[in-house]
Amino acid sequence: MTDSTHSSDAQTVAPRCGFVALVGRPNVGKSTLLNHVLGMKLSITSRKPQTTRRNLLGVDTRGGVQAIYVDTPGIHVPGNRQLNRLMVRNATSILADVDLVVALFEHERLTEEDTIVIDRIREAGVPALAVLNKVDLLRDKTRLLPAMRKLGEMGVFREIVPLSALKGDGLDRFRELVAAFLPEAAHQFPEDQVTDASERYLVAEIVREKLMRRLGDELPHRTAVVVEAFTVTPERVHIRADIFVEKHGQKAIVIGEKGSMLKAVGQDARMDIEKLLEAPVMLNLWVKVRKGWTNDSRLLHRFGLDERGA
């Protein structure tokens, strides 16, 4: 015999849904955390700071809870380049419009850019959690205590959570805390949807990731990728992507001797794109020079990196 009253109560639990901003200085692990929360690679990663250039939604639906994460560019002192100013603006402009802010910090040290992040969160006045990331690098976990104490004394964060985004340690506790801050609301995305980004955008990001991984020392932030053609046939998906650089010397680096570097980037990217699209892919890459594109409003718009494209 079933307990009909208990069953009815379980069925009437209100769903929770809300937006969660992942913020922090460059290269602190925001994109890695998002990928592990989702259980799939959505946001590109590299060891180079400022890999993420625009806000990206990742939807984590588990039972009655739907957390809509916003992976943001690293908040840093932007300098003179318009691209960098736009990246910081993208990251900070959403803070007042989310239900929860998750700020990531490295396990032991707080930098000047961390202080900028904290000041922006304080100004927004939104509930916030602090995540001390990369704790897998510490054998002695007591070394976390000074940073936890300092963050707690700032009066900005409701909870301070140690975890390892890369290893997945602490993710269950993290999800529980996030869920507790989400409002009761209907889900905004179907259960099986993980992002609102287009396939074209994700393909372009995969190509850019492979460029950064192979040429990060030579061209850390001087490339942009635009998918110019995306055609689906019964046999395969045909994709043409243009890689933009600022100088002819950079073009030579991307192409490599007898095209070797461009071929290697294409092979790396094609494997990930086929996993994403679950189909065979024919990928053609072309390299073009657009002088000063990181300071050109028109080109930043074309590349989807200004306020209208982000």
The answer to whether 178 touches 94, Cβ cutoff 8 Å, is: no
The helix/strand/coil state of 267 is: helix
Question: Interhelix angle for 260-277 vs 199-215, to 10°?
Answer: 140
Q: What is the pLDDT of residue 9?
A: 46
The count of structural domains within the chain is 2
Domain match, 293 and 169 both: no
* pTM, entire model: 0.83
Q: What is the pLDDT of residue 113?
A: 85
Q: Please write the tens of the pLDDT for every residue from 165-204.
A: 888 888 999 999 999 999 999 999 999 999 998 999 999 9
Evaluated on CA atoms 283, 291, 261, 257, the torsion sign reads positive
Q: How far apart are CA 121 and CA 199, in angstroms?
A: 32
- What type of residue is 160? I
CA 262 from chain centre, in angstroms, equals 25
CATH number at residue 141: 3.40.50.300
Tokens of 71: 């992976």
61 within a domain of the structure (yes/no): yes
CATH number at residue 240: 3.30.300.20
309 within a domain of the structure (yes/no): no
Q: What is the pLDDT of residue 77?
A: 55
Q: Which of 135, 153, 181 is the last residue of a domain?
A: 181
Domain match, 13 and 103 both: yes
99 within a domain of the structure (yes/no): yes
Domain match, 162 and 233 both: no
Give the domain extent around 74.
Answer: 4-181
The helix/strand/coil state of 161 is: strand
Q: How far apart are CA 199 and CA 12, in angstroms?
A: 36
Domain match, 169 and 204 both: no
Q: Please write the tens of the pLDDT for every residue from 82-125.
A: 666 666 676 677 888 899 999 999 866 788 888 888 998 999 99
For the chain, 310 residues long, the average pLDDT of each consecutive 10-residue run is 41 86 88 90 74 81 94 68 65 84 84 88 93 80 80 91 84 94 96 92 93 81 89 96 93 95 97 95 96 82 61
97 within a domain of the structure (yes/no): yes
Residues pairing with 280 in the sheet = none
Q: How far apart are CA 73 and CA 84, in angstroms?
A: 9
Domain match, 176 and 32 both: yes
Which of these, 23, 91, 86, 21, lies nearest to 305 by C-alpha position?
A: 86
Give me the half-sphere count of Cα atoms (radius 13 Å) on the Cβ side of residue 281: 24
Domain match, 43 and 173 both: yes
Burial class (CB in 10 A: 0-12, 13-18, 19+), 308: exposed
Domain match, 206 and 175 both: no
Domain match, 25 and 157 both: yes
Residues pairing with 20 in the sheet = 69, 100
Domain match, 174 and 211 both: no
Q: What is the pLDDT of residue 6?
A: 42
The answer to whether 60 touches 282, Cβ cutoff 8 Å, is: no
